[in-house]
Structure formats: C-alpha cells, structure tokens
Structure 1
Amino acid sequence: MRTPNKAVALVALAALAPFGLAGCGDDSDGDSEGGSKSFADQSAEEIKDATIKDMQDVSSLTMTGNFTNDGQETALDLSTDVDGRCTGTMTINGGQAQIISTGTDSFLKADEAFWTASAGDTAPQIIAVLGDKWAKLPADNDFAEVCDLDQMLDEFNDTDDDKKATVGDVTEIDGQDAVEIKSEDENGESSTAWVAVDGKHRILKLSSSEGDEPGEFTFTNYDEEVDAQAPADDQIVPLG
C-alpha cells in the first residue's frame, strides 16, 4: 500500500527549508525579546539568527497548510509535539483522514475518497477491512516522521543557505505583527517566511512557489498541550 505519510513529512520539512537557516548558528546576538521596530529593522541574517534561536525551544505547534505533492492537492491541519504526539486531519484530492499519534501508537481513520487517492489499487481491500474503524499502523510507519516535531525543527540546521534573503514589510498574521523574509534562488523560485516581531520570534507563516510542489503553511498554538488520545479498542483494526 502506498501511504501519503512519507510524502507529507517530506513536504512539511521542505516547507521549512526555503527559509535558509543553515549556517546561521543558534547563538544570535540579536535581541530575542526586542521591540517591534528594532527587530523588524534588523538585517535578514540577524532576523534569521533570532528566529532559529527561538524555534529551537518549541515544544509543540499546530501546522495548517495546503500544498501540491505528486500532482495531488493536499491539505494538512496537524497539532504535534516533541514527544511524538499529534492529532489532526489530512486531505488528499478531497478525501479526508483523521490522524492520531499517542507518541507510541499511530492511528488513521479515512473516508473512501482518501484511500482511493492514497492507496491506489489496494484501496478497495483496505476499505473492506476497515469499514468506518480506525487503522492502527505498524510501529515503523511514516507517521513517526509526520508527528516528530523534533525532526522537523532539526531541519533548520540542515537546510541550504545558498539563497539570497531580503527583509520585507511588517504585516499582521493571526493577530500578530510579523516581518516578511523572502528568499529567492538562482532559478527565480521564491519562498517567504513571516516571523513574529514581538516576544519570541517564531515563524507564523511560510509560503513557497518552488517547482511543481508549491505550498503555504501557518503555524499557531506554540507550546500548547497536544491532547492525543487513542481510539477505543473496539474501534481499532491493526494493519501490517
């Protein structure tokens, strides 16, 4: 069965990569708690330094976005934490799945359209086995990556810093002032991050127009508890 989980993990990580944080280090000289004017007036490198510093102590977040992956329109609304707990929904070409990971076990409940879009020829068999129950996924399933916030945040240290970054305007994102950081590579493909101006300088929004897999994500509910409870035993069917 081809599941979308690995693809979602890769797209989520790729969404962070265009910010170009590699090589910035995590010991910023910038004012991590500075005022709106002083932070937004700093250079792109100073803003990125402060952002990587403040992103490294994130314990949880909610990621909501839309992107194209392998020609499929995909949407994700997922709350996840550094202990591997996550809960939310994923939509592929109109089909929707609910996702739960308790940190040890992963579960998925999807409609027929989702299985058809994600599982191809094996979809009818999966639908027949599961009905309207939750699938308990094998221990080595790719949700371990989707729900691994630590791995996602580690991408800040592994990304490519070849892109030229510029500071844009301050705008409001979800009620918070955010400064725009735009990156563009030699092929003209661009990505933009909006970073919180006040308090902790965390990413509030990312947008990428790169290649055939454009996407846009917002990040909210930083450091809030993720309540991921396993379904009732009689509603679970083990897969794998």
Structure 2
Amino acid sequence: MTPKKSVLTAAMVGAFVLGATACGSDSGHFDGKAPEEIAEEARDAMTTLESVTISSDLVSQGQEVSLQASIASDGSCEGSFTAETMSAEFISIDGTEYLKADEEFWQGEGLDAAEVGGKWIQGPEGEMSLTGQFCDLDQILGEMSESEIEADDWESIDGETIDGTETVGIRNTEDADAGTTDLFIADSEDAYVLRSVRTGDVEGTVEFSDFNSDFDISAPADAIDMTELG
C-alpha cells in the first residue's frame, strides 16, 4: 500500500502547517493585538487540539487534489480524497488502514483492479502507508508548534463570516514572490483557524472544523485482507 500520488499528502500537510499559525484584527477578541501576538495565540489553540476535520481543494504541480479527513489524536481517522480522476475512501483505526478505492487507484498499486475496485481493503496491521501520512495529528501539530513567527512576515486583511462565525484575517508574505497564505481565525478566545487560502506552488483552500469533536470511527465489517490477495 504505497500510493504513487504523494503530492496529496505533501499539499495537505503543507497547507495545514501554513494555515494554522497566525491572525490579525482591529476589533473583537483580538482588539489592539499585533498580528504576531495573535499568531502565538492561534498556534497555541491549534496545537492543543485533540481532533479536527480538514476539508481542502488544492492544486499542486498542476494536479487537482481534494480531501476531507476527520482526525483524532489517538490515530483514528476517516475521510475521502480525489486526485484528478482517481478517488478513494479511507479509515484508520487501532493501527490498521482500510481503503475503498476506484479501479484506477488499484491499477497504480499493481493489484487486480477488477477484484478490489470499490471494495474495502484492509492493509497489513501497523503499516499506515497512506493514511498515516495525513492522519497523524501529533505529527501535523508538532510541525506547527515548531514554526517561527516573525512580525515582518504578516499583514492584516479583512476577515470573513464562515458558517456564521466572525473571523479576523492576516496574510503571510514571508515569500510573496512564491505565493501568499491568507488565514481566517475565529474572533474568539478559541482562536481556531477556520480557513486558509493559498497561492503559489500549492493553490487553493483548506477549511478546519469539528474542533475537539468525538468522532465515531469504526472498521468496515466487510473488508478484504490485503495479505490474502494474489
């Protein structure tokens, strides 16, 4: 289970890390605070999450990638993704990975697409080759907590109302020639990042929701053990 569409995970992790580090405001909870001060508060809020849902539509190296993933700190995760004409659903629970993908995906993996296409396939226990790359919440949040925040790299932008929540906004201009990242953060003590809009090498939108929710994730009952496939 070693997918060749690694651009999916690279784009998602990059967008998540860049999209959860700062915000700015002229009113509300963040009134009077400089962008770099708010950056610290937003980062603290995101890096202590026990669970979150990520929804994204990105373009990287000309490839369109969409992903929805509900991730918990205990390693459980479920969601779906598409990459150009390829699509799959996934579940990760108790150290085991399950995939239900279309025939194109399995052709790329060297398996009999007609045999496994559209069916839940259970990977070898402990081998999280696909979902392990974007279902490890500790790894993602750990990368965010190590990022440096420099005052000169941020500027305030207008906030937006997202699903009824007022947000404040900031733009990361650390490498404006390569692209920018616009961040929209809940204008409240929670300081959660709700949306990240990127330009440059990876373009598109990533949205965050279901903060610290209890996800009811269970293994599919009819999964086929990959080790039993010829």
TM-score > 0.5, shorter chain as reference: yes
Aligned CA distance change for structure 1 residues 113 and 83 (closer, same or farther; 3 Å): same
**Which of 31, 34, 41 is the matching residue for 1:43?**
34
Contact 1:20 1:159 in 2 (8 A): no
**Which of 97, 100, 111 is the matching residue for 1:106?**
97
Matches within 5 A, 1:1-240: 3=3, 6-19=6-19, 21=21, 37-115=28-106, 119=108, 122=110, 125-138=111-124, 139-140=126-127, 141-159=129-147, 161=149, 164-188=153-177, 189-211=179-201, 213-232=202-221, 234-239=222-227
Aligned AA for 2:196?
Answer: L
- Report the Cα distance in structure 1 between the residues aligned to 2:88 and 2:19, rounded to whole angstroms: 29
- Give the alignment's TM-score, normalised by structure 2: 0.84
Aligned AA for 2:123?
Answer: L
List per-residue Cα deviations over 1:54-110 (Å, max 9, x = no partner).
112211111000112343211001111111111111111133211101131110001
| Paired residue total | 221
- Give the alignment's TM-score, normalised by structure 1: 0.81
Aligned AA for 1:193?
Answer: L
Contact 1:87 1:227 in 2 (8 A): no
Q: Percent identity?
A: 26
- The Cα RMSD (Å) is 2.6
Greater CA drift, 220-229 or 2-11 = 2-11
Aligned CA distance change for structure 1 residues 219 and 38 (closer, same or farther; 3 Å): closer
List per-residue Cα deviations over 1:1-30 (Å, max 9, x = no partner).
751574333222211343584xx9xxxxxx
SS at match of 1:87: strand
Aligned CA distance change for structure 1 residues 20 and 98 (closer, same or farther; 3 Å): closer
Return 5+ residue gaps in structure 2 as ranges: none
Return 5+ residue gaps in structure 1 as ranges: 25-34
List per-residue Cα deviations over 1:118-159 (Å, max 9, x = no partner).
x27x3xx34134143212123331321211111111121233
